[in-house]
Amino acid sequence: MKRVATWVLAATLAAAASCIDAGPVAGVLTLSLTTPNAGADGAILFSVTGPQPLASVTAGPGLRVFFQPSSTVTRCAVTGPLTNGTVVTIGVADVRQVAQYVATIQSVAASADFQLRALTGYSLTVSK
């Protein structure tokens, strides 16, 4: 009987501990681009808005990023051959708040002549 009571107590404590909010979980989120002109775009300008300033911004493979952080909005310019997929990764204070981070495209330029493109068909998605 004593062993059963000990086991029940241990299981109860373990279940309760798993429900405790341990605070923010710092980490990295990915911003992925969807483009109707994969490989033909050479630059994108966008902003990232979130509940806290970004801790870091890192360009995706083969790309270069320039960014200007502020309190809750960070403006980013990424250059290089843009394709569907990861454009940048961003360091955030709490990855559990992923839904509160929004990326908004301001402009996209063609790689051949840097002419601005219509933004129809373009989107940025923020994910874990």
| Residue range 36-90, pLDDT digits in tens | 999 999 999 999 999 999 999 999 999 999 999 888 999 999 999 999 999 999 9
Q: What range does the domain containing 36 cover?
A: 23-127
Q: Say if residue 21's pLDDT is above 50.
A: yes
Domain assignment present for residue 18? The answer is no
Domain assignment present for residue 1? The answer is no
Q: Which pLDDT belongs to residue 13?
A: 47
Cα 72–Cα 47–Cα 123 angle in degrees, nearest 5: 130
Q: Which pLDDT belongs to residue 70?
A: 84
Domain assignment present for residue 11? The answer is no
Domain assignment present for residue 115? The answer is yes
Domain assignment present for residue 31? The answer is yes
Q: Which pLDDT belongs to residue 11?
A: 52
pTM for the predicted model, two decimal places: 0.82
Domain assignment present for residue 88? The answer is yes
Domain CATH code at residue 87: 2.60.40.680
